[in-house]
Amino acid sequence: MSNTKVNLTTQNRLIITGLILSTVLIVAIAVFAIFNIQKKLNIGYQNFGQVISKTLAIESIEITRGLNIEETKRILKAHSDVILKSHNDIVYIEFRDAAGNIIYSGRNPHKGEDKVPSITVNSPMITSDGINMGSVTVGLSGNIINEISTTTRASLLFVFTVAWVVFAFVILINTYLITRELRILHEGVSKISHGAFGYKIEGKDVSTEVQELFDAFNDMSNRLHIYEEQNIEQLTLERNKLEAVLLCIANGVVVCDNYDNVVLVNNHAQQLLEVEEKQLLDTKIQQYMDTEGNYCFKDKIEEFKDTPLEEIQNKPIEFNIEIDKRVIKSVISPMFTRNNDYVGYIIVLIDVTKETEMDQMRAHFISNVSHELRTPVTVLRSYIDTLYNYGDEFDIATKKEFIATLNQEIIRLNRMVNDILDFSRLDANATLEKSPNNIMELVESCANQVQVLLKEHNLKISISKSDDIPVATFNYNSIERALINYISNAIKYSPENGEIKIAVTTLNNDNDIQITVTDQGCGIAPEHQKKVFDRFFRVENDTHTVKGTGLGLHLVKTTIEKHHGGKVFVVSEPGKGSTFGFIIPVVPMENKIKMDK
Ligand code: ADP
C-alpha cells in the first residue's frame, strides 16, 4: 500500500482557500438572489390572482344585474367557461351568494378534477350601492410562477457558475503567470546542479528585476562552463601524463575500478598476459584465464577484498602466476584519491622468470657443489686411510697407483675450488694482468695436463693450427683455465674411444685468434645451446648424471668476453657432438687505445 502525502505550499493553500471562500460566497449570493426573486414572484402572483378575482366580481355584478337566479347561474357559467378556457393558469372559479351558498362553480377542463390549486383568492361582490351580492373565489394553479422561478433559478445558476469558472480560471492563470518565472529559474538551477554548465534561461515579458536575476544566473552558468572546460583540460592533461607514465613503465600495470572492471592495461601487461587491450578493457579481471585455462587472479582478488584496507596498504598481496612457462609476479595494491577515498586497485606484473630460474639454478648449484666436494674428499679419505693402515703391505706399483688417484682427486678438487674462487673474482670488476704469450704453447700445455683423463676414458686428442699464429696479449692463467674447461667438458661428454680436436686459427687478417674444441659426444639440444654459458646452468641439473657445478662455461664466457673483449660460441648437434670455441683479439682493446693515443 502506498502512502502518498501531498505537501501543499502556503501559496497553494491560499489559492485553495480563496477558491473555497469565493465558491461559498457565490453560492450564498445565488441562493439569496433566488430566494428573493421567488418571494417577489409569489407576491406578484398573489396580486395577479387578486386582480382577476376582483375583476370577475365587478364583471359578474354588472352582467347579472336584475336577473333571476336561473339566468344569473347561466350567465355566470358562460362567463366562467370563457375565462377558464382562455386562462390556463386558473383551476376553478366559484361564485357564492351573500349567504355563502354556491351559485356556480366551474373547473378548468385542462386541469382535471383532482388538481389542487396552489393559491386561492377571494373577492366580495359588492355593488356600487354597497349591497353585498356574494363572493367570487378563484383557484390558481401557480404553473406560471413555477415556470418563471425554474427558468430564473436555472439562469441565475448558469450565470453564477460561469462567473465562478471565470473567477477560478483568472485566479489560476494569475498564479501560473506569477510562478512562471520561478519555474524557469528552478529549471535552470536544476540543470546546473546536474552538470549542464552553460545552460541559459530566457524570460519574455518579465519585470526588470526578474530580467536582472535571469542575466545574473546566465552569467554564473557561463562562468561555470568556462571553469569546467579549463578544469577538464587540466584533468585530461594530468590523466594523459599519468597514462603515459603507466603505459611506458617497464612493468605490466593493470588498473581496475571499484567494480573490478579493467580501466587501463599498459603495453607491457598486454605482452605479459598475452592479451590485447580491447580484450581486457571493461571486463572483470577475475575472468582472465591463464594459458592453462585457470582464473589465475580470482582467488587472490577475493583475498584482497576480504583483507582490511589498512592492512593491505602496508602489505600488498603478492603472488606468482604462470603464463606460457613464464613466471609473473603479481602485486595487488589499493588505489585512493587525494581525499583518501578508495577507488579501485592496481595490479603490477613483473616478469620474474629469469630470477626464478636463477633461484632454482642457485639451489642446484649449492647441492651440486656440496655433492662435488664430498665425492673427492670421501675418495681422498678412504685412499689415505688405506695407505696409512695397510701401506706397508702394498708394493711400489700399487702405492704409485693410489698416489696417482689421490693426485687426480686433488687436481679435481683444486679446479673446483679455483672455479668457485674465479667465479667471484671474475664476476667482480677485477682486471686481469695481460702479457704477450705464445698461444700454441698454452694449447699444448693444456693438452698435456689432461693426458691422465684422456687415458682414463680412452680418448685421443689432436691439435691443428693455421700457419704463423701471432703472439697475442692475454692473461695466460685465465685463458688456460678456459681452454682446460672446454677440453675437460669434451672429455666428460665424449664416448669411450672418441677423438677430441683442438683447432687454432687466425681470423680477421690475423687480428683475432680462434680456438675450437670439437668432440664426438652427446651434443646439446638447440634450446639449451643459448643457456650453456649462463651461470649455474647445467643440462643435467635435474639428473646429476655427470659431475659439475654449472660454473665452468660461465667462467669461460666471463674470461673471454668481459676480460679479453672476445667472443664465445657453441655449435652442436645432439647425438653427433659439439664444437665449443672462443675468439680473442691479438691485441687487447685497452692496448689498442693506448697505441692510438
Ligand atoms: P659443468 O662444470 O657442470 O660441466 P659447464 O658450465 O662447464 O658446467 O657446462 C654447462 C653445461 O653445458 C653442462 O651441464 C653440460 O650439459 C653442457 N656441456 C658443456 N660442454 C659440453 C659438451 N662438450 N658436450 C655436451 N654438453 C656439454
**pLDDT, tens digit, 9 for 90 and up, residues 457-485:** 899 999 999 988 999 999 998 899 899 99
Please tell me whether residues 525 and 443 are part of one structural domain. Answer: yes
Q: By alpha-carbon position, which residue is closest to atom 14 of ligand 1?
A: 538
Count Cβ atoms below 10 Å from residue 109 Cβ, excluding itself.
10
Domain boundary among 351, 370, 395: 351
**How much is the pTM?**
0.46
Please tell me whether residues 205 and 76 are part of one structural domain. Answer: no
Does 264 have pLDDT greater than 60?
yes
Please tell me whether residues 221 and 94 are part of one structural domain. Answer: no
Residue 188 lies in a domain: no
Q: Which of 18-22, 92-96, 428-432 has the highest mean pLDDT?
A: 92-96
Where is pLDDT greater, at 419 or 74? 74
Nearest atom in ligand 1 to 548's CA: 3
pLDDT at site 543: 46
Residue 535 lies in a domain: yes
Residue 276 lies in a domain: yes
Confidence of residue 372 (pLDDT cuts 50, 70, 90): confident
Amino acid occupying residue 477 = N
Q: By alpha-carbon position, which residue is closest to atom 13 of ligand 1?
A: 538
- In the reported structure, the alpha carbon of residue 570 is separated from the centroid of ligand 1 by a whole-number distance in angstroms of 11
pLDDT at site 6: 54
Percent of the chain scoring above 90 in pLDDT: 29
Give me the CATH number covering residue 26: 3.30.450.20
Where is pLDDT greater, at 249 or 524? 524
Domain boundary among 238, 264, 291: 238
Residue found by looking up cell 433559478 in the block: 153
**pLDDT, tens digit, 9 for 90 and up, residues 481-512:** 899 999 999 998 999 999 999 999 999 888 99
DSSP codes of every residue in 316-377: -EEEEEEETTEEEEEEEEEEE-TT--EEEEEEEEEE-HHHHHHHHHHHHHHHHHHHHHHHHH
Q: Which of 37-41, 221-225, 437-441 has the highest mean pLDDT?
A: 437-441
Does 320 have pLDDT greater than 70?
yes
Helix (H, G, I), strand (E, B) or coil at 308: coil
Q: Which residues make Cβ contacts (< 8 Å) with residue 328, sequence separation at least 6? A: 252, 272, 273, 320, 321, 322, 349, 350, 351, 352, 353
Contact 433, 475 (CB under 8 A): yes
Residues with CB under 6 A from ligand 1: 485, 489-490, 493, 519, 521-522, 524, 532, 537-540, 548-554, 578
Q: Which residue range(s) make up the domain with 465?
A: 421-596
In degrees rounded to 5, what are phi and psi of residue 437?
Answer: -140, 155
Residue 449's alpha-carbon distances to 178, 431, 442, in angstroms, are 115, 26, 11
* Residue to probe by mutation, ligand 1, list 413, 481, 489, 554, most atoms within 8 Å of CB: 489
In degrees rounded to 5, what are phi and psi of residue 519?
Answer: -125, 175
- Left, alpha or beta for 548 (phi > 0: left; psi -120 to 50: alpha)? left
Beta bridge partners of 125: 134
- Left, alpha or beta for 51 (phi > 0: left; psi -120 to 50: alpha)? alpha
Does 373 have pLDDT greater than 90?
no
The sign one gets for the Cα dihedral 463, 466, 468, 473 is: negative
Burial category of 234 from C-beta neighbours within 10 Å (exposed 0-12, middle 13-18, buried 19 and up): exposed
Residue 506 lies in a domain: yes
**pLDDT, tens digit, 9 for 90 and up, residues 89-130:** 888 899 998 888 888 888 887 776 667 788 889 999 888 888
Number of domains in the chain: 4
Please tell me whether residues 229 and 309 are part of one structural domain. Answer: no
Does 596 have pLDDT greater than 50?
yes
Confidence of residue 1 (pLDDT cuts 50, 70, 90): very low
Q: By alpha-carbon position, which residue is closest to atom 20 of ligand 1?
A: 489
- Give the range among 202-216, 248-262, 322-336, 418-432 with minimum mean pLDDT: 418-432
Residue 253 lies in a domain: yes
- In the reported structure, the alpha carbon of residue 458 is separated from the centroid of ligand 1 by a whole-number distance in angstroms of 20
Please tell me whether residues 85 and 39 are part of one structural domain. Answer: yes
Amino acid occupying residue 48 = F
Residue found by looking up cell 613483473 in the block: 350
Give me the CATH number covering residue 470: 3.30.565.10
Show the CA angle centred on residue 446, arms to residues 444 and 452, nearest 5°: 110
Please tell me whether residues 142 and 211 are part of one structural domain. Answer: no
* Residue to probe by mutation, ligand 1, list 538, 551, 558, 573, most atoms within 8 Å of CB: 538
**pLDDT, tens digit, 9 for 90 and up, residues 174-230:** 778 778 888 888 898 998 888 888 899 887 777 888 888 889 999 999 998 888 888
Contact 565, 583 (CB under 8 A): no
- In the reported structure, the alpha carbon of residue 457 is separated from the centroid of ligand 1 by a whole-number distance in angstroms of 17
Q: Tell me how far apart the alpha carbons of residues 257 and 123 are, in angstroms, rounded to a whole number.
A: 108
pLDDT at site 311: 86
What is the average pLDDT across 37-66?
Answer: 87
pLDDT at site 547: 65
Please tell me whether residues 234 and 292 are part of one structural domain. Answer: no
pLDDT at site 153: 79
Q: Tell me how far apart the alpha carbons of residues 534 and 115 are, in angstroms, rounded to a whole number.
A: 136
pLDDT at site 427: 65
HEC sequence for 145-168: HHHHHHHHHHHHHHHHHHHHHHHH
Please tell me whether residues 234 and 311 are part of one structural domain. Answer: no
Residue-averaged pLDDT of the chain: 86
Please tell me whether residues 229 and 282 are part of one structural domain. Answer: no
Residue 234 lies in a domain: yes
Please tell me whether residues 566 and 428 are part of one structural domain. Answer: yes
- In the reported structure, the alpha carbon of residue 554 is separated from the centroid of ligand 1 by a whole-number distance in angstroms of 10
Amino acid occupying residue 525 = A
Extract the C-alpha cell encoding 32: 439569496
Q: By alpha-carbon position, which residue is closest to atom 7 of ligand 1?
A: 552
Amino acid occupying residue 491 = I
**pLDDT, tens digit, 9 for 90 and up, residues 241-263:** 877 787 778 889 999 998 999 99
Show the CA angle centred on residue 333, arms to residues 327 and 339, nearest 5°: 160
Please tell me whether residues 307 and 453 are part of one structural domain. Answer: no
pLDDT at site 569: 97
- In the reported structure, the alpha carbon of residue 128 is separated from the centroid of ligand 1 by a whole-number distance in angstroms of 171
- In the reported structure, the alpha carbon of residue 372 is separated from the centroid of ligand 1 by a whole-number distance in angstroms of 15
Please tell me whether residues 336 and 438 are part of one structural domain. Answer: no
Count Cβ atoms below 10 Å from residue 115 Cβ, excluding itself.
14
Q: Tell me how far apart the alpha carbons of residues 134 and 268 are, in angstroms, rounded to a whole number.
A: 134
Q: Tell me how far apart the alpha carbons of residues 169 and 264 are, in angstroms, rounded to a whole number.
A: 61
- Give the range among 282-296, 400-414, 420-434, 547-561 with minimum mean pLDDT: 420-434
Does 3 have pLDDT greater than 60?
no
pLDDT at site 4: 44
- Left, alpha or beta for 374 (phi > 0: left; psi -120 to 50: alpha)? alpha
Residue 183 lies in a domain: no
Given strand 252-257, what is the order of strands in its sheet?
262-265, 252-257, 342-351, 326-336, 317-323
Count Cβ atoms below 10 Å from residue 375 Cβ, excluding itself.
14
- In the reported structure, the alpha carbon of residue 532 is separated from the centroid of ligand 1 by a whole-number distance in angstroms of 7
- In the reported structure, the alpha carbon of residue 540 is separated from the centroid of ligand 1 by a whole-number distance in angstroms of 9
What is the average pLDDT across 344-351?
Answer: 92
pLDDT at site 248: 77
pLDDT at site 345: 92
- Give the range among 185-194, 287-296, 426-435, 477-486 with minimum mean pLDDT: 426-435
Residue 203 lies in a domain: yes
Q: By alpha-carbon position, which residue is closest to atom 23 of ligand 1?
A: 490
Domain boundary among 351, 369, 396: 351
